[in-house]
């Protein structure tokens, strides 16, 4: 996997850059994508969408997506590479959402 993922807050999407060829693709996200975490073991990419109060999960192989509802105004995201758990900090309601690493879009 040689890809770079860039959140585009105002465009509500993620740019995927192929590190070998520099070709790009665009994947739709929720409103206000703010932060991103990559699980290199599962090849899932997690995007915290601050305005739509959810996380977009991108399958790194296919760019297929799914959505997981989280707390209000998710602004930071972190991933434990050992357990696969994803931690989402929700600024407005002061909560932390924990997502199982098994959550992934279709392949």
User: What pLDDT digit, counting tens, does each position of 4-56 carry?
Assistant: 999 999 999 999 999 999 999 999 999 999 999 999 999 999 999 999 999 99
Tell the CATH superfamily of the 3-99 domain: TolB, C-terminal domain (2.120.10.30)
* Percent above pLDDT 70 for the chain: 94
Confidence of residue 101 (pLDDT cuts 50, 70, 90): confident
d(CA 17, CA 67): 22
Res. 106: pLDDT tops 80: no
Question: Over the Cα atoms of the chain, what is R_g?
Answer: 13
d(CA 47, CA 87): 11
Euclidean distance between the first and final Cα of the chain, in Å? 16
Both structure tokens of 89 = 């900090």
Task: Tell me the pairing of strands 24-28 and 54-59.
Answer: unpaired
Domain definitions of the chain by residue range = 3-99
All residues at 6 or more sequence positions from 56 whose CB lies less than 8 Å from its CB, including other chains:
14, 27, 28, 29, 30, 33, 46, 47, 49, 65, 66, 67
The whole-chain average pLDDT of the chain stands at 94
């Amino acid at each position: 996997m040689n890809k770079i993922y860039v959140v585009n807050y105002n465009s509500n999407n993620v740019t995927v850059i192929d590190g070998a060829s520099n070709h790009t693709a665009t994947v739709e996200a929720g409103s206000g994508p703010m932060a991103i975490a990559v699980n290199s073991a599962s090849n899932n990419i997690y995007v915290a969408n601050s305005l739509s109060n959810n996380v977009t999960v991108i399958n790194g192989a296919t760019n297929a997506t799914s959505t997981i509802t989280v707390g209000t105004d998710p602004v930071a995201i972190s991933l434990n590479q050992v357990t696969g758990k994803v931690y989402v900090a929700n600024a407005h309601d002061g909560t932390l959402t924990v997502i199982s690493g098994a959550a992934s879009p279709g392949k």
